[in-house]
Amino acid sequence: MVALGLGMLVAALVGAAGPYQQTREFREVVACDRGVGDCFGNEAGSIVGRRTYTTTSTTTDANGQTHTSTTTHYEITWQRANGSRQARDVSSGFYVKAKQGQPATLRLWHGEVVGVEVMGGEQWFLPESGTTLSRWLYLAFFGLGVLLWGLLFGWWDGLFMLAFRTFAWMFMSFMPVDITTDALAYGWTTGTDLVVQILFALFFTGIAAGLLFGSLGG
C-alpha cells in the first residue's frame, strides 16, 4: 500500500508539471487582459442553443443512510465562425443574459474558447490545461490517501467501508483543488468572494473529514 500510494503520488506530481506551467502561462495572459486589454484572441460567434437540466446524486453515510440531492445546470451552446458548435455549463446569471440567436464574442487562447461575452455579461472557462491539472491533483491526493492508509492503518473491514472512506477522502479534495486551480488560472479572489470561498471549503471539507474520521473511530 505504501509503495502503491507513493508511486501514484510521484507519478501525479510529475504529470502535473506540464499542465501547471501552461496554466501559469494562461494566468499571465489573464493579467495582461485585465491591465491592458485585448490580450486574448477574439472571434465573432453566436448563441445557438440554451437549456437547463438536472442531475441527481445519492450518497450513503457511515450509518448506511442514503441522501439524495438534485442540482440544476444551465447550459448554452455557441457557434464559431467555422460552423463548429460547443456546449458548456454556465452560471445562472450569464444564462439569463445569453439569449438564443444573440451575437457573442468568443475569447480564444491557443485556439481554445476560454470566454464568451454577450451584451451585459461574460463567462470564463478554465482552459484545458487547468482541467488536466485538476485531474493530476486529484490523483495526487488519492495517492496521498493510499500512502497514509498504508503507513497509519492498513486494516481491512469490508468493501463498503473501503468505498465509503475513499469517497470521503476524495470529497475533502474537491474544494481545495478547485480553488487552487482557479487561483493559478485567474489569480486569488479578494474581499468577500475570498471569504465565501474559504467558508465553503471549510464547510464541505469539514463534513467529509468528520465522516472519514468517524468511520475510523467506529
Assigned C-alpha cell, 12: 501525479
How do the pLDDT tens digits run along the chain, 218 residues long?
Answer: 899 999 999 999 999 999 999 999 999 999 999 899 889 999 999 999 999 999 987 766 656 677 787 889 999 999 999 999 999 999 999 999 999 999 999 999 999 999 999 998 999 999 999 999 999 999 999 999 999 998 988 787 888 888 889 999 999 999 899 999 999 999 887 778 778 888 888 888 888 888 888 888 65
56 and 10 in a common domain: no
Rounded Cα–Cα distance for residues 177 and 98 (Å):
29
Cell matching residue 4: 502503491
Among 92, 124, 156, which residue terminates a domain? Answer: 124
176 plus 190 within the same structural domain? yes
What pLDDT is attached to residue 218? Answer: 52
Question: Does one domain contain both 13 and 47?
Answer: no
What's the alpha-carbon Rg for the chain, to the nearest Å? Answer: 21
- Predicted pLDDT of residue 216: 84
Q: Which positions ≥6 away from 31 have C-beta within 8 Å?
A: 187
Q: Do 138 and 108 share a structural domain?
A: no
Q: Do 212 and 133 fall into the same domain?
A: yes
Domain presence at residue 205: yes
- What's the CA gap between 203 and 169, in Å, rounded? 14
In sequence order, the β-bridge partners of residue 72 are 54
Range of the domain at 107: 39-124
Residue 31 within any structural domain of the chain: no
Q: Residues 142, 188: one domain?
A: yes
Return d(Cα 90, Cα 106) in angstroms, integer: 14
Let me know whether 106 and 83 are in one domain. Answer: yes
Q: Which of 124, 157, 187 is the last residue of a domain?
A: 124
By the 10 Å C-beta count (0-12 exposed, 13-18 middle, 19+ buried), 172 is classed as buried
What is residue 59's predicted lDDT score, i.e. its pLDDT?
65
Farthest CA pair distance, the chain = 59
Grid cell, residue 39, equals 490580450
CATH code assigned at 75: 2.40.50.660
Reference 149, options 216, 207, 64; nearest CA is 216
Whole-number Å distance between alpha carbons of 1 and 79: 48
Question: Within 10 A of 200 (CB to CB), how many other CB atoms are there?
Answer: 13
Q: Are residues 134 and 212 both part of a single domain?
A: yes
CA angle, 56 as apex, 53 and 58 as ends, to 5°? 170
Q: What is the pTM of this model?
A: 0.83
Is there a single domain that holds both residue 104 and residue 149?
no
E-state strands within 84-120: 85-90, 103-109, 112-118
Residues 93, 116: one domain? yes
Number of domains in the chain: 2
The reply to whether 110 and 65 lie within a common domain is yes
Q: Which of 104, 124, 144 is the last residue of a domain?
A: 124
The answer to whether position 29 is within a domain reads: no
Indicate if 14 and 82 belong to the same structural domain.
Answer: no
Asked if residue 147 belongs to a domain, the reply is yes
